[in-house]
Amino acid sequence: MDTSKNGNNNKVTIGSLLVALGIIYGDIGTSPLYVFKAIIGHRVINEQLVFGGISCVFWTLVFQTTFKYIWLTLRADNHGEGGIFSLYALVRRYGKNLVIPTILGATTLLADGIITPPISVASAIEGLGLVKGLEDIVVPGNFLTIGIVVTILSLLFFFQRFGTEAIGKLFGPIMTVWFAMLLVLGLNQMILHPEILKALNPYYAYDLLMYYPSGFWLLGAVFLCTTGAEALYSDLGHCGLKNIRLSWFFVKVSLVFAYLGQAAWLMHQGKELLEGRNPFFEIVPNWFLLPSIIIATLATIIASQALISGSYTLISEAINMNFWPRVLVRQPTESKGQIYIPSVNAILWFGCVLMMVYFKESGHMEAAYGFSITITMMMTTLLLSYFLLFKLKWNKIYVYLFLLVFSTIEISFFIANVAKIKERWMFLFFELFIFMVMYVWYYARFIHKQFVKYVDLGKYTQLFMELSNDKNIPPFSTHLIYLTKSSVRHEIDEKIIHSIFSKKPKRADVYWFLHINQTEEPYTLSYDVSELIDDKVIKVTINMGFKIMPRTELYFKRIVQDLVQRKELNLHTRPDGSTKYNNEPDYKFVVIHKFLSVENEFAIKDGLLLQVYFFLKRLGLSDEKAFGLDKSDVVVEQVPLVYQPVSNIQLVREEKTQAIH
């Protein structure tokens, strides 16, 4: 059965290929704007550097992008979905500590979202400086250039709230024009200097890394050509395996031609140094310069858009898998799967603008770019090895070989990127923030869970019957619904029993206990019902995939309708005679908010984790909003959460010594 989001997304049509081109290749597709500029930098242009550079780029695209991602990683689909959380969901049962690489990979992938948009857009806009008459106006790093980039990025983030349904249809055609442009521009130079093709020989890459002075550290610049590879996997669900693989042929040929064309130009341009020139725009004929800058700018905006949408998806998955506090998630359009997260939008916008203002020009950003994504790739490699071993049942020797080859490649890239550490302290701060949120949220919930007390419902059946039929107690509601953490049929949280029976008991005709079961499959949406007391106490488990929006109230309504239609439930009406005005039964949800009680005493680490957890919880969305409970009456109760009651109290009564006269 096809359980992917869109059963047709693996069909290959012209339309689906265009969608793939528009969504997933923005990042990797705009790399030719800055890769060669970064490789050459201020170095003397010679054959060893240029041939070695192009050879490294080509073989990186072959190994890292084509072999690891296109051929291998895309096989790790979780019911059609890709990305690091989908991969984690597939392999988490095989390794206890896989949560750390998952958090690290997701953190760095998200951090990439604050540098890819500014570096891409800045690279394109800086090209305007080559247009006749604009040489002295658009200068990399000047106020105007920074202003244009910040304005474009700000507008891009501002329009996120309206969705991209309308303009999204243009993404594919624009990116097709972009890749066609890369291909033609590159080919034009290659025809003039066909000898550049010999640079594809891997010997030149070896020669550069081994014998060029500080050649190994050039890997930091080479890596920029493959930074978008992770997006291929993250967007698997949007485009489908066949579409990605087929469109990659066209994209790869275009990219290789664009890099070869720049290399050919470098070998024949006649100057020793680059002197601030961008090889990409240098291979563009003068008459086509302005149109090429416009196309490049559009391509970089599309690349940024894809990254922003990818960040929303990542956080949405993180929320559903309990890696991130519940925050407001909107659906700006009717398009399935399109979401908008205001808080993530604000964080990314702030980060992108800060990066632009701090680094000022794309050349400076190149130093900070690449570090994060090398970590994501290393983490994907680790998780993928579990997938190959346990899911695809590969021979251990092949898995070790895979690990050895790609660990060597990625650790080399990582070391080369770490060397630029002084350039990206701000970046580290951002990554640390995201990592801490994910780490705290996951592990504090882990600790929290061990202190949630459950009770056996069987013990309370008689009490439920008595309370429900006790006419001396005023009715609280016809249907009373609680959310429970217990997945076991006849168990619920003790706090719920407290809420129903202690102090003022809550009399209802039907007591419902809803449990949301997060499944490892992305789009599951099913339920099962257990009637513990006929028509009186009902436990419902809703199985929800990690890509499904938790609209509990809507799902609950459908379940009730379904049960009534099947004649399994008598739809109780209000006992007070008010049904003659409106025959709908009344529902009341009780949401129990927990807070950390002052009664607790913790070890320093646990205490800190829980304090931060409850702080983040206050900043996030309330449970009633997070679970989509806003139509019915919702009663919120505050309950202290006592993890470890203080036991050693020595309270002494002071005896009065003087009598009162």
Partner 1 sequence: METEFSEQFYEKYFNSSNRNVEITLRSERIVKGVICGFYRNDEEHIIKWHIVDVQDGLVLGSDAFGYSTGEIIQLEDIQHVAF
- Is residue 625 at the binding interface for partner 1, with CB under 8 A as the rule? no
Minimum distance of partner 1 from residue 314's CB (angstroms): 23
CB contact at 8 A, 123 and 300: yes
Distance, CA of 450 to CA of 602 (rounded, Å): 14
Distance, CA of 82 to CA of 79 (rounded, Å): 9
Element (H, E) at 103: helix 99-112
Contact code string over 392-431 relative to partner 1, x by CB under 8 A: ----------------------------------------
Burial (Cβ within 10 Å: 0-12, 13-18, ≥19) of residue 589 = buried
Q: Which long-range contacts link 341-346 to residues 24+ away (Cβ below 8 Å)?
A: 341/312, 341/315, 341/316, 342/161, 344/311, 344/312, 344/315, 345/157, 345/160, 345/161, 345/308, 345/312
Which member of 494, 535, 562, 568 binds partner 1 (CB under 8 A)? Answer: 494
**Which of residues 505 and 607 has its CB atom nearest to partner 1 in the complex?**
505
- Is residue 92 at the binding interface for partner 1, with CB under 8 A as the rule? no
**Which of residues 380 and 484 has its CB atom nearest to partner 1 in the complex?**
484
The size of the interface with partner 1 (CB under 8 A), counted in residues, is 24
Element (H, E) at 418: helix 396-418
- Give me the helix-helix angle, 116-126 and 143-158, nearest 10°: 130
Rounded to 5 degrees, φ, ψ at 533 are -130, 130
**Which of residues 63 and 501 has its CB atom nearest to partner 1 in the complex?**
501
**Which of residues 157 and 643 has its CB atom nearest to partner 1 in the complex?**
643
CB contact at 8 A, 52 and 212: yes
**Which of residues 211 and 446 has its CB atom nearest to partner 1 in the complex?**
446
**Which of residues 90 and 500 has its CB atom nearest to partner 1 in the complex?**
500
- Find the distance separating the first CA and the last CA of the chain, reported in whole Å: 89
Distance, CA of 156 to CA of 352 (rounded, Å): 11
155 Cβ neighbours under 8 A, 6+ residues apart: none
Q: Which stretch binds partner 1 (CB under 8 A): 6-14, 63-71, 209-217, 450-458?
A: 450-458
Minimum distance of partner 1 from residue 103's CB (angstroms): 16
User: Partners of 514 in the beta sheet?
Assistant: 483, 540
Burial (Cβ within 10 Å: 0-12, 13-18, ≥19) of residue 588 = middle
Which member of 497, 516, 609, 626 binds partner 1 (CB under 8 A)? Answer: 497
**Which of residues 413 and 460 has its CB atom nearest to partner 1 in the complex?**
460
Minimum distance of partner 1 from residue 603's CB (angstroms): 16
**Which of residues 470 and 494 has its CB atom nearest to partner 1 in the complex?**
494
DSSP symbol at 600? -
Q: Residue 37: name the closest of 47, 50, 48 by CA.
A: 50
Per CB under 8 A, contacts with partner 1 among 451-480 are 451-456, 458-460, 463
User: Partners of 508 in the beta sheet?
Assistant: 477
Rounded to 5 degrees, φ, ψ at 22 are -75, -30
Which member of 198, 449, 489, 605 binds partner 1 (CB under 8 A)? Answer: 449
**Which of residues 312 and 323 has its CB atom nearest to partner 1 in the complex?**
323
User: Partners of 81 in the beta sheet?
Assistant: 78
Q: Which stretch binds partner 1 (CB under 8 A): 244-252, 276-284, 305-313, 447-455?
A: 447-455
Minimum distance of partner 1 from residue 141's CB (angstroms): 51
- Is residue 640 at the binding interface for partner 1, with CB under 8 A as the rule? yes
Q: Which stretch binds partner 1 (CB under 8 A): 76-84, 156-164, 485-493, 580-588?
A: 485-493
Q: Other CB atoms closer than 10 Å to residue 652's CB: what's the count?
A: 5
Per CB under 8 A, contacts with partner 1 among 319-348 are none
Which member of 391, 498, 557, 625 binds partner 1 (CB under 8 A)? Answer: 498
Minimum distance of partner 1 from residue 475's CB (angstroms): 21
Which member of 97, 214, 286, 450 binds partner 1 (CB under 8 A)? Answer: 450
Contact code string over 499-518 relative to partner 1, x by CB under 8 A: --xx----------------
Minimum distance of partner 1 from residue 501's CB (angstroms): 6
Distance, CA of 313 to CA of 324 (rounded, Å): 12
CA distance readout (Å), 343 to 150, 179, 235, 317: 19, 33, 22, 15
Distance, CA of 259 to CA of 519 (rounded, Å): 44
Instruction: State the residues that interact with partner 1 by CB under 8 A.
Output: 446, 449-456, 458-460, 463, 487-488, 490, 494, 497-498, 501-502, 640, 642, 645
